[in-house]
Amino acid sequence: MSNDAQTIRLDRPAEHFQETLLLGNGSLGAALHGRPGVDWVDLNLDTLWSGGPRGPRAPKARPIAELRAAIAAGDHAAADRLARELQEEEWTQSYQPLGRLAFRWGADDDALAHRALDLSRARVETRASDGSGFDAFVSHPDRVLVIEMDHRPEAPAFTSPHPATVEVSTDGETRWLVATGRVPAFVAPEYVGDHPDPVVYADDAPDADGTVAAGMGFALVAVVEPTDRGSRLIAAAVDGFRGWDQRPSAELTHLADRARTIVEAARVQSGLAARHEADHRALFDRVRLHLPQGEDAQRYFDFGRYLLIASSRPGTQAANLQGIWNDEVRPGWSSNYTTNINATMNYWGAEVAALSELHDPLFALVHDLVEAGRTTARDLYGAGGAVTHHNTDLWRFTDVVNGDPQWSTWSSGLTWLAAHLDLRLDTAPDDGFAREVALPISREVAAFALDQLHNGRISPSSSPEHRFHAPTEQDPDATGAVTDGSTLDQELAYEALARLIRLSDQLDAHDEVTARSRAEIGRIRLPHVTDDGLLAEWARDLTGTEPGHRHLSHLYGVFPGARITETRAPREYAAARAALRSRLENGSGYTGWSQAWVLCLAARFRDAALAAEALDKLVHSLSSVSLLDLHPAGWRPSGSLFQIDGNLGAVAGVAELLVQSHDDAIALLPALPGTWTEGEVAGLRARGGHVVDVAWSDGRLGWAQLRSPAGARVVLEVDAATPVTVWDPEGGEMPTTSVAAAIEGRLRIAWAAPAGGVSRITAM
């Protein structure tokens, strides 16, 4: 195994799914329990979802004009009622488990010595007290699960929560298993507790082309064969997904043949493990973090990077609420894409952690949602562009789901997802990506925002999942959810228009939407500061019903946005900091993902103590023993459920403690926790295409190295108490100039990157 800081080591089997050790290649997910005797691994495929492509929306009157009139009149009860008339009587579909593959290792009465996940090698090692055990990995190059065991071959077993056929055969000492089945045609979300038919399987035969309207097929093929060590299991799985707008396949024989072909190809390959490890390390080793006094934080950061590598690869689906791991037919919140924080948080760290290509599945999702969301924008709002509401799925659902308007009516899902274009464009500038991907998406997102802006405010609007007090004479306890100009929606609209204007100028690609954006951007009403000094959550004088609400939506402009900084908007910055303090004093941060957001905000506020506290809570109170991020779920036997967002959001949070680049400078150690007195990080990416290495001791900068585009202007920010010298690659001192707008106690200097692009910085 690798060093302990890069290993999750446990001495008892998993009692619940969220205690398993996870393996994955972006498509095939495996959750290992580690139980001597008969053990099992839960299997998933990233494209195995219930349902099928949606048909045309049933025509009906959409009262958008009446809704906006009610909002303008301050009639919140009418606004909520009319918002419900925008809804469809349906929900997103659910991410599905493939099933459970059981295999024997050790004896039934053996005790587990340890089970361990080596993050640097993407490999699980499991040992019993007698020393026997197995090692497992999921290969991206070869598309298979591999389990290497100490005992002679035995036939595995497979059970699925779906109707399935399982065949086991023997060829000498080699055992084969072939399983096929179909997932449900419909699954109601878990939170719809009174649905009369929550899970529906189709019994229709496939058409001549092997396709069905809903309920795709799947196949698993596994082989166990003898080896010098004992035996080796190789498994592959495929499903019938053919595209988000295409009927899926349920031709089970064909699917089984495809899976068997993958297994047969892997069987004859030499060096399966070496090829897998090389592929993983090519991504994982891009960034190195060493925290002698913060080993738990280092492990959590590395685990987040590991999970993104395991759940999101070019050509796969984007990581969903649980990445690619789920063992339930009706998982929490359908294990879908929740766009009002969770889906975006999954990718906050992709660029800064040098995993840019793993961001591609999110951009593919956004591209599809633009295609699917044009009709929704037209039919529901009479608007141009494209829209996605707070939930989507494999089939690119973009409508308003059936439910409370406080979450269902929010219409800025696509706008927020598109904000990730800025992360790629700023960190890895590329005119090809800008022209082919970013510009078309930005144009559609801006077009929708423009048609939603009325008197400078998005209407209708909401602050995700948070209601406000709306007392009337008849009901002094009344609340509302739908208004105009929530702070989050205003920030996102401003970003969307600004991005399109910037891209149009960069690419000399102007059109009518760009012209409208230029005319309208100055009219957008940006958030104000309340009388008590807090950044407002709504444009109107409204008070939230939950002072400690888990969502921190009104702080978007601080993080993940970058409009509100101490240098650019000091008054709003101070008000946002006070708003975060108020939220926390009232109990916010009680979910893993919420605490990850607190961590990122604390870093932007340069509050090292709060950041350290948030990270400690996330790692030790809001994660399982196997470090999986948890969301409280009192209705479940375990009391919680796994959501991957907090794990992945923490990658960005830890990186922001060490390097920031959103405020016109590369800031080194802007929010270093006091207990991290020494350490080193290498390979972080900063805006402008810079690669940053930093080392420190006694809590002070020791040295840094920047690899920059040749000739680029570098602006560096350091602690004013630690002046620095900049050296070129030959060891010559480089001339620098002072830069204004530095934060109190900080120093900014600038220089032109030398030939070769490498600048070394040493503290005086």
In a domain, 592, yes or no: no
CA distance 652 to 8: 20
Return d(Cα 724, Cα 701) in angstroms, integer.
Answer: 9
CA-closest candidate to residue 29, choices 46, 16, 13: 46
DSSP strand pairing (666-668 vs 713-719):
parallel
Instruction: Give domain status of residue 64, yes or no.
Output: yes
Distance, CA of 408 to CA of 389 (rounded, Å): 7
63 and 35 both lie in a single domain: no
**Cβ atoms of 486 and 539 closer than 8 Å:** yes
pLDDT at 710: 85
Buried b / exposed e along 194-208 (16+ C-beta atoms within 10 A) = eeeebbebbeeebee
Task: Report in angstroms the alpha-carbon separations of 117 from 8, 290, 322.
Answer: 5, 19, 18
CATH of the domain at 477: 1.50.10.10
CATH number, position 713: 2.60.40.1180
Q: Is residue 655 part of a domain?
A: no
- Residue where one domain finishes, among candidates 538, 556, 586: 538
Check whether residue 415 and residue 486 sit in a common domain: yes
Do 486 and 537 contact (CB within 8 A), yes or no?
yes
46/65 same-domain check: no
Whether residue 134 sits in one domain with residue 78: no
Output phi, psi for 754, to 5 deg: -75, 170
The side-by-side arrangement of strands in the sheet containing 21-24 is 21-24, 28-32, 37-49, 95-105, 157-159
pLDDT score for 1? 46
DSSP label at residue 359: G
DSSP label of 611: H
Residues 214 and 179 placed together within one structural domain of the fold: yes
Q: Tell me how long the chain is.
A: 764
Residue after which a domain boundary falls, among 523, 538, 553? 538
Q: Are residues 76 and 203 in the same domain?
A: no
Q: What is the CA radius of gyration of the chain?
A: 26
In a domain, 579, yes or no: no
Judgement on whether residues 127 and 214 belong to the same structural domain of the protein? yes
Whether a cis peptide bond, with omega within 30° of 0, leads into 735 is no
**Three-class DSSP category at 420:** helix
Q: Are residues 36 and 87 in the same domain?
A: no
- Specify if 618 maps to a domain: no
Query: What is the domain-level CATH number for residue 11?
Result: 2.70.98.50
Q: How many CB atoms lie within 10 A of CB 382?
A: 11
- Same domain? For 275 and 397 the reply is no
Residue 641 maps to a domain: no
- State residue 270 phi and psi, 5-degree precision: -95, 150
Are residues 137 and 75 part of one domain?
A: no
User: Among 261, 290, 319, which residue terminates a domain?
Assistant: 290
Structural domain that includes position 695: 666-763
Residue 230 inside a domain? The answer is yes
Q: What is the rounded distance in angstroms from the CA atom of residue 631 to the CA atom of residue 345? A: 15
DSSP state of 434: I
Q: What is the DSSP letter of 402?
A: S
Tell me: cis bond preceding 460? Omega within 30 of 0 counts: yes
Quick one: 137 and 276 in the same domain?
yes
Instruction: Assess if residue 346 is contained within a domain.
Output: yes
Domain total of the chain:
3
Q: Which two tokens stand for residue 462?
A: 């909401």
- Rounded to a whole number of angstroms, the distance between the first and last alpha carbons of the chain is 39
290 within 8 A of 679, measured Cβ to Cβ: yes
- Report how far residue 688's alpha carbon sits from residue 683's, in angstroms, rounded to the nearest whole number: 14
Q: How far apart are CA 341 and CA 625, in angstroms?
A: 25
Shared domain check, 171 and 31: yes
pLDDT of residue 56: 83
Regions of the chain short of the pLDDT cut 50: 1
pLDDT at position 660, please? 99
